[in-house]
A and B are shown apart, each in its own frame.
Chain A
């Protein structure tokens, strides 16, 4: 260093402890959460999601019986002992519903998270690189986009049959990341021409850091939105695959409940709760995530946020 430190009162005044204080990642999380919470629709969605998660986590405590506990009266209607009746195999429907929430939420969140991570990694680097590399990625992403999703899912699931939940997550991730990658790529391309990105090049930043520290934070709302969208799709896909019998049908989840209900012709025997209860739960869970997405918009625009508070 060639300049001497000017004897600034400000520096002497500085409390020494604050010297290394960098903005902590927790502050960002809190900020994001409070932004989402300030939106009315998102608040409803968050409350619904919280209820589902609590029910799933505490299912062993809340559920009146075990999920695979048989031996009750078969195909019974709702009663004080079995609020939603029993299945054709003599299991308690309410207990199955509560335990099933665990699988649906787990698959939704994990598959949503994984496909978002892949979308972010591929979308951002794809948006930042130019030339031959971008063309290669373009080809691969287009490949995944043009193949019809459901048949691909069924084919992969049939090929990997017997893999259980892990298999379902893999199938959902493989078929679900490409759209998000394309959306994130176009946003990256528009951000990369901003002056602050050029300025980061002048600051000596490596491309990796430019992409993930300069560009990525400006896309938080897109990424969070993408996550909730992917999680919703994952929950629906998981239920769909299991309903078709492509999952492990011995696991209790909302999808397998529908599968067995369909197998035992529940509607013909008048046991509507068998189909209706898990169906409604899937719909409500997907709705809650969609509602949360309404609150995500304000995250990466501080000015927008200040404007809404008044």
Chain B
């Protein structure tokens, strides 16, 4: 690697780069303010790689934004100081802040892949930065951009492409290269890989780790995933409800966690290849249910769901040699074979995992089963319904029994309707209940998914709920019609680790107590292991491996399955 043309005097290792002193960040003012970050103090030395772990709402991103001077109203620094190289960041005005971005602090955002301007080529993105800061001579612009793009393991031809022509992983690499272009001393990565596919995630993370070593910048990696952080960072800060509850070297966190919260986070990691997999909530059901209720409102009792009276007309979903071919995206290209000769049956009460990276066709299968898309060939039968040829007018007949839980709870709820409205509609449409009866059923559904107090949650709008609460509403809506089959499309990928267990246990409960069959679409093999009996691994639309979940995951035969298993971040790997 060629040396950076703007060599600064190398700072002494272990000298303090950043010092945060008793920092509090609030949203809003006065008594009603949300205290996102409270009395946080820490110190960063030159060249350190520090992980900042916490669940959503823990204030980790707010802290990251405060450090980079990007806090937006109503967020504001209530008290405390952020000393970066001895200067207080909070006291800088906009122009000083802009100037310090060169050689100062850079940030890579979670949605960094969307942060690129779609109508400007990658080269222009670099040029904009070079022009704004004037730290690279005009004659060296191309050379410097090529060098930067090389550092994130992309070829120079990427410079002339537009963001829309790049994959998510490539775009995120470009964002990292853009952040590097200012030769920052401190890089803040805010969930840099969360939006990416597992295999890509793994590769991008490796790039970041290697860059940190070769460029020797100081890095803060903000993530909700303790596994990723432990694999990459030397020191880990665990954040919970606005406070740092633990700050220790990665190895120590793993072997000897001090805070209860850290232990709780760690307990949610396991190796899907292990002989026996135990996750909190799946080991001891009774206890988990009590915990679930306690988390929801602190005081009320656990929901008691009586087992459903045995259905007489349980149907099996039979998928027979189904293919789906989409027309070629552009003239001259081959048509896209999204699903290639897939067959399986889903017995009543069974749970089947569909596993694969993005683009493997698993979501297309979900669309085919729910009649949203029509198969190109093959047949899908559910009871006496021919799902593949179902007319729009008969959707209600299918959706009474086959319901779907969406991946993104943030877009699956209409932002303008209350929770009550979202749940009332399917209740009225499918059960024929009206008025008070319908409302009673809605409250009952909320209780089943553990949103207590039900009255309060019924009146809320989606933006007043957390991601986990939204996903519970989405599940409650899927339950409204009392379905036989639930298709869960990555139901927990957008959720925090501690909430995941709750949602998964909820799905598991529904299956056990109500005899609902579950098609669980995921790239998360660990959750597939605990929730499902059987598994199908998809690659490029075709089934590459299938069988009993535990057997397949413990003795994978297909190369692709093995790669998927290897890409899973696992804290235990650090020790091993």
A201 to B396, CA, bound (A): 8
Q: Is the interface of B mostly helix, strand, loop or mixed?
A: loop
Enumerate chain B residues within 8 angstroms of A11, measured Cβ to Cβ: 440, 443, 447, 454
State the CA gap A43–B91 with chains docked (Å).
35
The residues of A that contact B308 with a CB separation of less than 8 Å are 2-3
Are B418 and A218 in contact, with the CB atoms below 8 A? no
- Shortest CB distance B447–A (Å): 5
Q: B451 → chain A, closest Cβ, in Å?
A: 10
Residues of A near B512 (CB, < 8 A) are: none
Residue of A nearest to B73 (CB): A310
Contact with A along B279-309 (1 / 0, CB 8 A): 0000000000000000000001101111011
Question: Which residue of A4, A196, A201, A310 is within 8 Å of B413 (Cβ)?
Answer: A196
List of A residues within 8 angstroms of B463 by Cβ = 302-303
> Does B252 reach chain A (CB closer than 8 Å)?
no
Contact partner of A10 (CB less than 8 A), chosen from B305, B416, B426, B454, is B454
Are B482 and A6 touching (Cβ within 8 A)?
A: no
Minimum CB–CB distance from A299 to chain B (whole Å) comes to 10
A205 sits at the interface (CB 8 A): yes
Q: How far is the CA of A310 from the CA of B73 in the complex (A)?
A: 8
Task: Verify if B532 is at the interface (C-beta below 8 Å from A).
Answer: no
**B414 adjacent to A19 (CB under 8 Å):** no
Contact status A6-B414, CB under 8 Å: no
With a cutoff of 8 Å between Cβ atoms, the chain B residues found around residue A20 in the complex are 435-436, 439
Q: Determine the distance from Cα of A302 to Cα of B417 in the docked complex, in whole angstroms.
A: 12
Contact of A204 among B29, B416, B426, B448 (CB under 8 A): B426
Q: Does B63 contact A (CB under 8 A)?
A: no
A9 in the interface (beta carbon within 8 A): yes
Tell me the complex Cα distance, A42–B435, Å: 40
Distance (whole angstroms) from the CB of B564 to the closest CB of chain A: 26
Give chain B nearest CB distance to A124 CB in angstroms.
15
Complex interface: chain A residues within 8 A of B461 (CB):
302
Q: Is A13 a contact of B455 with CB atoms below 8 Å? A: yes
Q: Determine the chain A residues whose CB is within 8 A of the CB of B49 once the complex forms.
A: none
Give the shortest distance, in Å, between A306 (CB) and chain B (any CB): 8
Chain B, range 369-421, C-beta contacts under 8 Å to A: 370, 372, 395-396, 399-400, 403-404, 406, 408, 411-418, 421
**Does A199 lie within 8 Å of B300, measured CB to CB?**
no
Q: Is the CB of B300 within 8 A of A9?
A: yes
Listed stretches B177-185, B472-480, B522-530; interface member: B472-480
Q: Is the CB of A204 within 8 A of B454?
A: no
Residue contact A6 to B447, C-beta cutoff 8 Å: yes
Q: Which residues of chain B have C-beta atoms less than 8 A from A7's C-beta?
A: 304
List chain A residues, Cβ under 8 A from B15.
none
Assembly CA distance A205 to B425 (angstroms): 8
- Using A196-B414, A202-B399 as known contacts, say yes or no to A2 and B455 having CB atoms under 8 A apart: no
Q: Complex formed: what's the CA distance from A217 to B28 in Å?
A: 28
* B441 on interface, CB distance cutoff 8 Å: yes
List which A140-198 residues lie within 8 A (CB) of chain B. 194-196, 198
Of all chain B residues, the one with the shortest Cβ separation from A20 is: B435
Q: Choose from B28, B309, B411, B480 the contact partner of A2 (Cβ within 8 Å).
A: B309
Question: In the complex, what distance in Å separates the CA atom of A11 from the CA atom of B408?
Answer: 30
Q: Is there a chain B Cβ closer than 8 Å to A1's Cβ?
A: yes
Tell yes or no: B3 within 8 A of A by CB: no
Residues of A within 8 A of B413 (CB): 196, 199
How many Å from the CB of A7 to the closest CB on chain B? 8
What chain B residues lie within 8 Å of A10 (beta carbons)? Answer: 300, 443, 447, 452-455
Scan residues 443-487 of chain B and give those whose CB is less than 8 A from a CB of chain A. Answer: 443-444, 447-448, 452-455, 461, 463, 474, 477-478, 480-482
> B141 within 8 Å of A by Cβ?
no
Give B369 Cβ to nearest chain A Cβ, in Å.
12
Q: How far is the CB of B414 from chain A (nearest CB, A)?
A: 4
Chain B positions within 8 Å of A200 at CB level: 414, 425
A:120-143 near B, CB below 8 Å: none
Minimum CB–CB distance from B483 to chain A (whole Å) comes to 10
Bound-state Cα–Cα, A13 to B458, Å: 14
- A1-35 CB mask vs B (1 if < 8 Å, else 0) is 11111111111011000111011000000000000
Hey, which chain A residues are within 8 Å of B306, CB to CB?
A: 3-4
* Given A3-B308, A20-B436, residue A204 in contact with residue B399 (CB < 8 A): yes
Contact call B412/A23, Cβ cutoff below 8 A: no
Q: Are B431 and A217 in contact (CB under 8 A)?
A: no
B430 at interface by CB-CB < 8 Å: yes
In the bound complex, residues from chain A placing their C-beta under 8 Å from that of B477 are 199, 202-203
Chain B residues, Cβ within 8 Å of A194 = 411
- Whether, in the assembled complex, B332 has its beta carbon less than 8 Å from a beta carbon of chain A, the answer is no
A18 contacts across to B, CB distance below 8 A = 455
Q: Does A214 contact B (CB under 8 A)?
A: yes
Say yes or no: A203 contacts B73, CB within 8 Å.
no
Q: Which of A217-240 contact B (CB under 8 A)?
A: 217-218
Q: Cβ of B86 < 8 Å from any Cβ of A?
A: no
- Which of B29, B411, B448 is the one whose CB lies under 8 Å from A196? B411
Q: Give the chain A neighbours of B305 by CB distance below 8 A.
A: 3, 6
Tell me the A287-310 residues at the B interface (CB within 8 Å).
300, 302-303, 307, 310
Is B13 in contact with chain A by the CB < 8 A criterion?
no
Chain A, residue nearest B411 (CB): A195
Say yes or no: is B429 at the interface (Cβ < 8 Å to chain A): yes
A19 to B447 Cα, complex, angstroms: 16
Query: How far apart are the CA atoms of A19 and B443 in the complex, in Å?
Result: 10
Q: Is the CB of B439 within 8 A of A214?
A: no
Contact A204 B430 (CB under 8 A): yes
How would residues 350 to 371 of chain B score, 1 for a CB under 8 Å from any chain A CB and 0 otherwise?
Answer: 0000000000000000000010
Chain A residue with the shortest CB-CB distance to B464: A302
Within the complex, which residue of B411, B421, B436 is in contact with A19, where a contact is CB–CB below 8 Å?
A: B436
Q: Does B10 contact A (CB under 8 A)?
A: no
The residues of B with any CB-CB pair to A shorter than 8 Å are: 28-29, 73-74, 300-301, 303-306, 308-309, 370, 372, 395-396, 399-400, 403-404, 406, 408, 411-418, 421-422, 425-426, 429-431, 433, 435-436, 439-441, 443-444, 447-448, 452-455, 461, 463, 474, 477-478, 480-482
Please list the 7 inter-chain residue pairs (A to B) with the smallest Cβ-Cβ separation, ordered nearest first. A204-B429, A203-B426, A195-B412, A195-B411, A196-B414, A10-B453, A217-B416
Given A4-B306, A6-B304, A310-B29, 9 new contacts (CB under 8 A): A1-B433, A3-B306, A6-B305, A8-B300, A19-B436, A20-B435, A20-B439, A198-B404, A310-B28
